[in-house]
Amino acid sequence: MNKTNSTQGTSNSPFGGWGAYYIIIPAYNEEAFMALTLQSLVEQTVLPSKIVVVNDNSTDKTAEIVLAFAEKHPFITLVNKKSDAIHLPGSKVIQAFHEGEKHIDDQYDIIVKVDADLIFPNNYFETIIKHFQSNATIGMAGGFCYVEKNGDWVLENLTDKDHIRGALKAYRKEAYQQIGGLKPAMGWDTVDELLCKFYNWKIVTDESLHVKHLKPTGASYNKAARYKQGEAFYSLGYGFIITAISSLKLAMRKGKPLLFIDYLMGFWKAKAAKKPIFVTAEQAQYFRNYRWKKMKEKLF
């Protein structure tokens, strides 16, 4: 299929004028991977209309790499952002994403949040667009992350297969607007899906789309960041029992059982501090009911 460039607009889209997508990439010290990610994006069978890379206070050559791509590809833009050097999962990356949003218009059908350490197959976004086109009630779509282990690329199995990883989230514009965008805190990539379900949007994961994830999730997280996972469960309105079950499951999947204690401590710290909940009481109740339903399905 011929590539559709942003300079041509969406009228020449192979999808009948629908399917324009914008990508925002938060990036912090990603010189090792940035070029690989951008190269995989400029080689897509259907090109993005815009790529905005938000250089979030990097101290390496991330910005230079992006500018070199932008010279060749006018749909790529570099935005520089100043922020604290500390990396807390969720908040820093989504604050950078929000900065990127200030530099786009609303002439898109799909908005995508992408990490700067991924290699996409060439047909990735052509396939994602087809999913959205197939059903007007699909609000989110994504493939799967694979990490290298002993020379093989294996599924980064940290979540269920009906969950889209935070590294590669694609949203239909209407769904994205209805859920109120992304929350700048850890847990944003769960609350977005639960809110989609709350508003009756469908979520599609495509097992045929294998994306190489070059830097394993959480590789740079510190002790304070570990507590953030428990805080995130609290902020979703899960309550203690669901938090305990979810914490145990996640800790075992990561192969680090002691993380279970960190997660529970994070929950209790957030509860004691009366931290704000992401969602309304009605949405929190829906989330709890949904989680209980999923747990019962797995047990029975």
Q: How many domains does the chain have?
A: 2
Instruction: Give the 3-state secondary structure of residue 52.
Output: strand
Q: Model pTM? A: 0.86
Tell me, yes or no, whether 249 and 194 share the same domain. no
Tell me, yes or no, whether 184 and 264 share the same domain. no
Distance, in Å, from the CA atom of 242 to the CA atom of 265, rounded to the nearest integer, reads: 14
Q: What is the pLDDT of residues 35-90, one digit of tens each?
A: 999 999 999 999 999 999 999 989 999 999 999 999 999 999 999 988 665 555 56
178-233-165-112 Cα dihedral, nearest 10 degrees: 30
Q: Which residues have a Cβ under 8 Å from the Cβ of 174 and sit 6 or more positions away? A: 139
CATH (domain of 63): 3.90.550.10
Pairing, β 138-149 against β 168-172: antiparallel
Tell me, yes or no, whether 236 and 187 share the same domain. no
Distance, in Å, from the CA atom of 141 to the CA atom of 131, rounded to the nearest integer, reads: 7
- Please check whether residue 1 lies inside any domain of the structure: no
Tell me, yes or no, whether 146 and 56 share the same domain. yes
Tell me, yes or no, whether 197 and 257 share the same domain. no
If you ran DSSP here, which 8-state letter would residue 276 be given?
A: P
Domain extent at residue 287: 223-299
Query: Any bridge partners for residue 142, and if so which?
Result: 205
- Distance in angstroms between the alpha carbons of the first and the last residue of the chain: 45
Give whichever of 55-59, 89-93, 169-173, 248-252 has the largest mean pLDDT: 169-173
Tell me, yes or no, whether 168 and 294 share the same domain. no
